[in-house]
Amino acid sequence: RFMAGTHWQDISRLLGRPGPFAGPDFDHTLPIREFMANDCRILVIGAGGLGCELLKNLALSGFGHIDVIDMDTIDLSNLNRQFLFRTKDVGKSKAIVAAEFINTRVTGCTVTPHFCRIEDKDAAFYRQFQIVISGLDSIVARRWINSMLLELVQYEDGQPRLETVIPFVDGGTEGFKGNARVILPGKTACIECTMDMYPPQITYPLCTIANTPRLPEHCIEYVKVVLWPQLRPDVSIDGDDPEHIKWIFDRASERAAQYSINGVTYRLTQGVVKNIIPAVASTNAVIAAACANEAFKLASSCCPSLDNYLMFSDSEGVYGLTFPCERKVGGEEICGASVRVRASACDVHGVTGPLDCPLALSRPPAVYATARGAVCVCADAQENCFGCGQVPVRVAVSSTTTLQELRQRLIDDAEFRLRAPSMTATVGGANRVLYMENPAAIRAATTPNLEKSLAELGLSNDDIVYITDPSTARPSRVQLTVS
């Protein structure tokens, strides 16, 4: 048990004196330790392998008020690495049990649990925190909290107001590999800026799993996507239901025996059904330590924070690399000019005015009239983030493109990767629902629009389509470039 009186002496000593590595905003005469203990509120998202390590590290680093949110319950397989849980806790809420453990062991630290989905909390809930740290195993959840923190940012003269920026420290592990990153919403690269760094989920061709299975995963996937819908069409697969996993395991074992395939186990079955990658406790410890260290630096300014992405691997030796992920920003931000109206050409194409864009033109440019004259913006400068960009992302389509084709592109394209997008637009001066996933009545009424072309729906060049999706907390925009 750690007592509040003596345990924080080393931290107080660290924060109470200047040093060569201190950041420019660090002032050792300020009561930083008291701020961390009394006023700085931290939100930890996830109480699993990373979350347990994070809660322990933050509590022992001097943070006095921590909230933890997790919708999951404790499984027997968690106990080999999620050390805040015991056998008696199996079936209980991870958030509640983890909070009780820390509150009992570390005097002076109060952990408040939230046994729910992150989507169940509104903007007012997230606005009360000074730092948000995630230890998630889901890209969808990362995108949602990323968009929520971006939604909280307020802008003045095109720049984010610093008091509305809540730092987001994100950690992730995959076997012996991991990463930690620091995101300042609206100022540095966000999750959407680097979506191409996340590999797509592994899928198996249906023809392979149905006709020529070669791997144990093929047998499991066959039962999951073929046999289950045939034999149990009225029941949705629940990866946390032992009866469902046992049913799939038994039939996958039978199919594996038919094709002389070894290696189908209950654990592998559960991993394929839930898309689980085996976790390594040592990797969790390293990444959680890096995230907690960044939270400490952000709260105290004792050292400059990570700029801004740390990659770690210990599969062969120990390897680490730190590099800055770059934001995807619109051309007007790169050029340093505020876009007023779109122009027909720049000065090199016949319009008088300075050419402000410093980037080489790689394809026919977009041209804007700005406060400083006509500006050419090259293709690279036009690249814009779907999440944190202040201008809509451009999407090239043809007049014959159907709404279904546009929607499918938003689902399949690596830049978007949406799950079930709903779309609206302003057509003829009036707001029009193009397609709405929910409620069911509106979905039925708008489904015929999916087969219509964009021209038939009244959409033309430069029109903006507004998109809502379960993976984001706020509406997004795309602007059509119609050929």
What CA–CA distance (Å, rounded) separates 209 from 68? 41
What amino acid occupies position 227?
L
Catalytic residue flag (residue 207): yes
Cβ atoms of 135 and 117 within 8 Å: the answer is no
The DSSP output letter for 402 is B
Single-letter residue type at 145: I
Return d(Cα 34, Cα 84) in angstroms, integer.
Answer: 27
Q: For residue 409, give the nearest of 386, 391, 432, 376 by alpha carbon.
A: 386
Residue 134, beta-bridge partner list: 45, 170
| Residue 79 identity (one-letter amino acid) | L
- Residue 153's nearest CA partner among 481, 473, 374 is 473
Q: How far is CA 446 from CA 18, 236, 421, in A?
A: 63, 26, 13
Number of Cβ within 10 Å of residue 83's Cβ equals 16
Classified as helix, coil or strand, 120 is helix
Task: Supply the Cα-derived Rg of the chain in whole angstroms.
Answer: 26
Strands 476-482 and 393-397: parallel
Distance of CA 140 to the CA centre of its chain: 6
Extract the tokens encoding 134: 């995630």
Q: Which of 190, 207, 291, 385 is catalytic?
A: 207
Q: Which of 370, 366, 376 is nearest to 346 (CA)?
A: 376
**Mapping DSSP to helix (H, G, I), strand (E, B) and coil, where does residue 261 land?**
coil
Backbone angles phi, psi at 16, to 5 degrees: -100, 10
Burial per residue of 176-198, b for 16 or more beta-carbon CB atoms within 10 angstroms, e otherwise: ebbbbbbbbbbbbbbbbbbbeee
The residues that are catalytic are 207
